[in-house]
Amino acid sequence: MSTSNKKRRVICIGNGVAGPVFAMALQKLSDYEVILVDARSAEAKAIGGAISISPNGLKALEFVGADQIVTENGGMQESFRILQAASGDVLAEAETAQLLVSKYGYANYGIIRQVYCSGLRELARERGIDMRFNMRLESIQESDNAVTAHFDNGESLTGDLLVGCDGIHSPTRAYVVGEDIKPRFANVSLIIGLSKFTAEESTAISDGFNLHLGQGTNFGCYRADNEGTWAWFIGFATGDPAGGEAEWASQSHQDLTALALSKVEHWNAPLPSLIIPRSYRVSGVGLYDRTPIDTWHRGRVVLCGDAAHPVTPIGGQGSQIAIESAVILARLLAAEQEPSDALFQRYAQLRKPRTDAVVETGRRIISYSFKGGWRTTIRDFFVRILGGYFLRNGGLAQYDYDAGTAPL
């Protein structure tokens, strides 16, 4: 890839989580011009539930001065409790907030997804990042010195580099790998919701992350802000996502709430029956990931976030590793005079061991958490023995990664 004295331009496809973080990181470190392009409208829609952000994710956000989006608008998780759903027995618990702050600089937080995405987008806009909306990528064309993205509205953009931050169904990924391979269904679906309580009512809920482990069904809830919003999810095994319980598009709020309650009706656990009926937003999703790939780039096109390493939300690291990769890629680009195959290969070498491990961990958790039978007995035994240690040590040092200072 040749060197030029002109200001270099990056076209970034996707303006969700990884896209704005990548753009702000590259702006901080270099004189690259970044154009963020998204197929959706400019406003983040009020859909979905909340996400949990751990210290490693917050450190990546801190690198671009965006951690306050979470710490000011989210809800700190003071503790973590894991309960056996059938009996109500506590399998493991730990007061995690102060412990994590002392070890890693941050506690875990929950935040409404819409608030998180809107906050990142607004911060990038305030910093002058060029944003284009309602432009769906249709094709990519490369020459020796440039790459051109063609969009469904008839517009085209040309730059020195194209970064695909366009998610698990990424058309950029299809270009890089040479074919459009469908994501792998994990045979698990989630119903996710947001429920509202008064300050007095919230005192009845343990002020942390509460995870109930059942026979093939799990329930979790956590504070999503400091104004009485609690996020919840219920995960359960399903078959083909084209039908049955996974035909989510046709399900009403009432239908989804009733289905969620039916999954926990025989549990000896009060929280699900308290929180689920109070939901003001609820939706259902099937869980997908992709088998890790060895190459994350093709020519002047490189993948980042879920486009490169999509993972199910089981384990809570999907959005964290996405913004980690965004920061690492920006640091590498800023450190080099020109994008190159060697740079992109180094990027994948740095990130793949960590991202592949997260994908594999998610699959392993699913195999023991949603199958029922003897796997449930083994799961509960190990959680009772090792769960407290795991909770007190930041997910076996998962949180001890800082994308802003990690060696390149």
Q: Specify the pLDDT at position 44.
A: 66
Q: Are 123 and 69 a contacting pair, CB within 8 Å? A: yes
Q: Is residue 317 part of a domain?
A: yes
Q: Is residue 52 part of a domain?
A: yes
The pTM is what? Answer: 0.94
Q: Is residue 203 part of a domain?
A: no
What HEC string does the chain produce? CCCCCCCCEEEEECCCCHHHHHHHHHHHHCCCEEEEECCCCCCCCCCCCEEEECHHHHHHHHHCCCHHHHHHHCEECCCEEEEECCCCCEEEEECCHHHHHHHHCCCCEEEEHHHHHHHHHHHHHHCCCEEECCCCEEEEEECCCCEEEEECCCCEEEECEEEECCCCCCHHHHHHHCCCCCCEEEEEEEEEEEEECCHHHHCCCCCCEEEEECCCEEEEEEECCCCCEEEEEEEEECCCCCCHHHCHHHCCHHHHHHHHHHHHCCCCCHHHHHHHHHEEEEEEEEEEECCCCCCCEECCEEECHHHCCCCCCCCCCHHHHHHHHHHHHHHHHHHCCCCCHHHHHHHHHHHHHHHHHHHHHHHHHHHHHCCCCHHHHHHHHHHHHHHHHHHHCHHHHCCCCCCCCCCC
Q: Specify the pLDDT at position 395.
A: 64
Q: Specify the pLDDT at position 245.
A: 53
Q: Specify the pLDDT at position 61.
A: 99
Please give the average pLDDT of every successive group of 10 residues along the chain, which has 408 residues. Answer: 72 98 98 97 80 96 99 96 93 93 95 96 98 98 96 98 96 92 88 94 86 94 95 88 62 93 93 96 90 94 96 86 98 92 98 93 83 84 89 75 97
Q: Specify the pLDDT at position 316.
A: 78
Copy the structure tokens of residue 100. Answer: 């994590």
| Helices 18-29 and 113-126, axial angle in degrees (round to 10) | 30
Q: Is residue 331 part of a domain?
A: yes
Supply the CATH number for residue 382's domain: 3.50.50.60
**The total number of structural domains that make up the chain:** 1
Q: Specify the pLDDT at position 98.
A: 93
Range of the domain at 337: 9-183+290-397
Q: Specify the pLDDT at position 242.
A: 56
Q: Is residue 47 part of a domain?
A: yes
Q: Is residue 337 part of a domain?
A: yes
Q: Is residue 160 part of a domain?
A: yes
Q: Is residue 379 part of a domain?
A: yes
